[in-house]
Chains A and B, each alone.
Chain A
Amino acid sequence: QVHLVQSGPEVKKPGASVKVSCKASGYTFTSYGISWVRQAPGQGLEWMGWISDDSVNTKNAQKFQGRIAMTTDTSTSTAYMELRSLRSDDTAVYYCARGSSADYWGQGTLVTVSS
Chain B
Amino acid sequence: QSVLTQPPSASGTPGQRVTISCSGSSSNIGSNIVNWYQQLPGTAPKLLIHTNNQRPSGVPDRFSGSKSGTSASLAISGLQSEDEADYYCAVWDDSLNGQVFGGGTKLTAL
A contact set with B: CB distance below 8 Å: 35, 37, 44-47, 49-50, 59-62, 95, 97, 100-108
Distance, CA A47 to CA B45, complexed state (A): 13
A residues within 8 A CB of B63?
Answer: none
A residues within 8 A CB of B56?
Answer: 103
B residues within 8 A CB of A45?
Answer: 37, 39, 45, 88, 90, 101, 104
Distance, CA A59 to CA B96, complexed state (A): 11
What 0/1 pattern do residues 66 to 97 of B give for CB contact below 8 A with A? 00000000000000000000101010100011
Distance, CA A108 to CA B45, complexed state (A): 10
Q: Whose C-beta in chain A lies nearest to the C-beta of B42?
A: A108
A residues within 8 A CB of B101?
Answer: 37, 44-47
B contact set with A: CB distance below 8 Å: 2, 35, 37, 39, 44-47, 50, 56, 86, 88, 90, 92, 96-104
A-B contact pairs, 25 of them (CB 8 A): A44-B88, A44-B104, A45-B37, A45-B39, A45-B88, A46-B101, A47-B99, A47-B101, A50-B99, A59-B98, A60-B98, A61-B98, A61-B99, A62-B98, A101-B35, A102-B35, A102-B37, A102-B45, A103-B47, A103-B50, A103-B56, A104-B47, A105-B45, A107-B44, A108-B44
Partner of A101, one of B50, B88, B97: B50
B residues within 8 A CB of A50?
Answer: 99
B residues within 8 A CB of A59?
Answer: 97-98
